[in-house]
Amino acid sequence: MILLTGAATPIIENNQTSMLPYFAGRTLSRMTIAYGLSLAFALAYGIFTAMNHRASHVMLPLLDIFQSVPVLGFLPVVFLLVLNRLPGTPGQELASIIMIFTAMAWAPTFGVIAGVNAIPADIKEASRAYGVRGFKYLRQIVLPAVYPELIWSSILAWGGGWYLIPIEEYIPGTVNLPGLGSYIAIAGRKPDLASALFGLIILVGIIFAIDQLVWRPLGRRAEKYKYETVAAPATETQRSIVGEGMRRYEGRLISPVTSFLKSEKSYFNRVVEITRLRRLLHARERLRFPERITRIPLWGKLASYAIFLSLVAVALAIIIPPKSQSIENAIATNFSLLANNVTALELFLNTLLSVSRLATAYCIALAWTLGAGILIARSSRLSRWLVPIFDIG
């Protein structure tokens, strides 16, 4: 009791704790707006790319380039660009939403492309024979086909957005937006470990509530819109705890687990059946993204890179102020993430350090992911404890 009282004292004394419901609402509003923009982008870009063969030669590689850029790589460009033109709180809110959008947009877009490519050829032929075209074809054929993939990819999109909120809501001396992310970031900066952990618990509770109240019902409904090559069984199969909990981690686990468990075929088959990996495997086969990239002509790849570099050049031209005006004066909030007097050698060495950190983090993640996957496959008792932890994380 004394320990609990001592831990609760900093939380109670924190004058921002009473504002947590308001902060949660502000964070959810930003996430919702960014997801709405991501959904609109995914439907427009994904459907057009999947249904226009010639345009896909450029748009598919361009999408792959943008989704390969780390989310934090957009941070300096977005905040410098927006705050330079729209200083103050409105600019901070807009930049924050754009940053969340860059974390959310790519997974739903690839999901839409996979859904359109999953439409069977006989369905397309029947729609042409019966004169189903234009908006009617889009509403009755395309949108139901992309619905399942869009739901699963949206779960990943929201996961990517949650990771970013402490960064996009609070940058010392520049950005301080009301929200759960800023509450956690400020508490960690003081440092106030109790308040930071309390804010994290609130965030985890919100994520869990959204998963239970939104994504699970939508996921069950999405099963009705899946194209199956064989008839579905008349009786409903029992839903596995592992299958429900590991859905959002399928993409992260599938490649290392499938390669590692080839020698242990029985365990691999169990993982595939329990965690619904067959659905993702079929989606990847329908999308055939690596094969489509290799079939794209050289002019399409060159055009996509040219468009990407042109956008980067335009952003730099807007961000960099004229010689008579410094970056600090160009931005009313005195925000600058650009380092001065950095030589080419230092930039190269810093890049090598960043790559080495990424490689080390990937090896660590791969090691524990493989171990956890094997434990989950072999022990249903351990899966009941591990999978909920993965779902929250």
What does the pLDDT look like over 2-39, one tens digit per residue? 445 656 777 887 788 888 899 999 999 999 999 999 99
Token pair recorded at residue 41 = 């982008």
In this prediction, residue 155 carries a pLDDT of 87
Let me know if residue 234 belongs to a domain: no
Give how many domains the chain has, as a whole number. Answer: 2
Q: Measure the N-to-C terminal CA separation of the chain; round to a whole number of Å.
A: 29
144, 73: one domain = yes
Let me know if residue 233 belongs to a domain: no
Is residue 70 reached through a cis peptide bond, with omega within 30 degrees of 0 on the bond before it? no
Which stretches of the chain score pLDDT less than 50? Answer: 1-3, 231-246, 248-264, 266-268, 270-294, 322-338
178, 274: one domain = no
In this prediction, residue 324 carries a pLDDT of 42
42, 172: one domain = yes
Residue 85 CB coordination number (10 Å): 13
User: In 69-133, which ranges are continuous DSSP H helix?
Assistant: 75-85, 89-104, 106-117, 121-129
In this prediction, residue 156 carries a pLDDT of 85
Question: The pTM is what?
Answer: 0.67
Token pair recorded at residue 248 = 């959002």
pLDDT tens for 79-133 read 878 887 888 888 889 989 999 999 899 999 999 998 888 888 888 888 888 888 8
In this prediction, residue 186 carries a pLDDT of 87
In this prediction, residue 290 carries a pLDDT of 45
348, 321: one domain = no
CA–CA separation, 237 and 220 (whole Å): 12
- Name the β-bridge partners of 176: 170
In this prediction, residue 379 carries a pLDDT of 75
SS (H, E, C) 115-146: HHHCCCHHHHHHHHHCCCCHHHHHHHHHHHHH
Q: Which of 391, 78, 137, 76 is nearest to 243 (CA)?
A: 391
Range of the structural domain that residue 44 is part of: 2-227+297-338
359, 385: one domain = yes
